[in-house]
Amino acid sequence: MEGPHIGYPVTIDLILVGVILFYMATDIHAHRQNRMMTLKEATFWFLFWVAAAMLFAGYLWVAFDPAFAKLFLVGFVLEESLSFDNVMVFMVIFGSFNIKEQLLRRVLFYGILGALLFRLIFAAVGTALFAASPWVGMVFAAVVAWTAWKMLTADEADDALHDYSQHWAVRFTERFIPVYPRLHGQHLFLKASEAEELRQQDPSIRIPPNAKLLATPAFLCTLVILFTDILFAFDSVPAVIAVTQEPLLVWSAMIFGVMGLRAMFFILSGLMKYLVHLDKAIIALLFYIAAKLAVEASNKLFAWPGLHISPGQSMAAVFSILGLGVLASWVFPKKQQE
C-alpha cells in the first residue's frame, strides 16, 4: 500500500526558488570582490548549506510528515557524497586548462548552475519514467551498478593523467567559435580588438582572420565542467530516485546538495589526501543503491523477494557506509608516495 504523497506545495516551491536566488546573489557579490575563496570561507558556506538542509528537513518534519524529512535527508546526503567524485574530476579538468585562483570561482559558478538545471530536468524525466513502469527501476539499477563497477575498476593513474583540454566538447566548440589560446583575467570571451592588442604583445599568438569574438580557455573549461556534470547526473539522479520517487523531494535534495558543491571543492582540494578510502565507501554506497532499486522493482514485477527498505533504514545504511569510509581513512591512512 502506497503512503501519502507530498505533491507540490507552494511553500516548498517558494523556498527552493529563494534558495537558488540567494545562491546566485551571494556568488555574484563574491565575483565583484574578485578574490579567491579561502578555506575558512569555504568551510563556513559548506556548513551553512548543511544547516539550511537540516532546517528544511525540520520544516518537512513539522509541516508535512517525518517520513518526507527522512527521505529528503537521505537524498541530500547521497547527492553530497556522490559529489566527491565530481570534485576529483574537477581538479583534473582545472589542471588541464591551467585554471587557478580567482578564475576557479567563476568557472564553478557557471558549471554549478548548469549542473543544477540538467539535474532538475533529468529528475523530472526520471521520476516520470519510474512511475510509468517498474522495469525502469531495473534499468536505473543497472546504470548505478555499472557506474560503481566502472569506479571500482578505474585506473587512478590514467585518470590523473587525462588531458581534458582535448575533450570532445572542446574540439566541437572550436569548429564554430575561434579560440584565443591564452587565459586573460576572468574573461570567458574576448573581442577581436582586445585579442589583437594582446597579440601585439605576443606575436606568437595567431588569431583567425575575420573573427569578431574569441573564446578563451576559461570558456572551454566551463563547457567541459558542464558536460562532465551532465554525465554525473546520469549517476546521481537514479541514486536519489532510488530513495524517493517524489519529484519535489528529489529536486530539493539535489538543489541543496549542489549549492554546497562549490564550497566542497575548495575544502576537499585540501583534504583529499586524508580521505583516502572515501571513494571505496562511495562505490559500496552505489552498489547498495543498485540493490535497493533492483529489489523494489522485483517486488512490483514478480512479487519477490518481498523486502521493503524504509526511509529510516536507508538513512542508517547511507550514514554507516560513509562513516566507515571516513573512519577507515583515519585508521588506515596511505603512506605518502614520492
pLDDT surpassing 90 at residue 15: yes
Q: Indicate the angle between helix axes 247-259 and 10-33, nearest 10 degrees.
A: 20
pLDDT surpassing 80 at residue 211: no
pLDDT surpassing 50 at residue 336: no
pLDDT surpassing 70 at residue 31: no
CA distances from 213 to 108, 179, 207, 209 (A): 23, 9, 10, 11
The chain-wide mean pLDDT, for the chain, equals 81
Query: For the segment 164-180, what is each residue's pLDDT rounded down to a tens digit?
Result: 777 888 888 888 888 88
Q: Taking the chain, what is the end-to-end CA distance rounded to the nearest angstrom?
A: 58
Query: For the segment 278-330, what is each residue's pLDDT rounded down to a tens digit?
Result: 788 888 888 888 898 888 889 888 888 888 887 778 778 888 888 898 888 88
For 166-201, letters b (16+ CB in 10 Å) and e give: ebeebeebeeeebbbeebbeebbebebeebeeeeee
Q: In the chain, what percentage of residues exceed pLDDT 70?
A: 90
Q: Quick one: average pLDDT of 18-22?
A: 92
Query: For the segment 68-83, what is each residue's pLDDT rounded down to a tens digit?
Result: 999 999 899 888 887 7
pLDDT surpassing 90 at residue 51: yes
pLDDT surpassing 70 at residue 101: no
| Contact indicator for 107, 99 with CB cutoff of 8 Å | yes
Query: Which residue did the predictor score with more confidence, 14 or 147?
Result: 14
Helices marked H in the chain = 10-33, 39-63, 66-96, 102-132, 135-152, 156-160, 168-174, 192-201, 217-243, 247-259, 261-271, 278-302, 311-331
Distance CA 309, CA 86 (A): 28
pLDDT surpassing 50 at residue 338: no
Give the distance, in angstroms, between the CA of residue 203 and the centroid of all CA atoms in the same chain.
40
- Give pTM, 2 decimals: 0.79
Predicted local confidence at residue 4, as pLDDT: 67
Distance CA 213, CA 177 (A): 8
Predicted local confidence at residue 163, as pLDDT: 67
Distance CA 236, CA 123 (A): 10
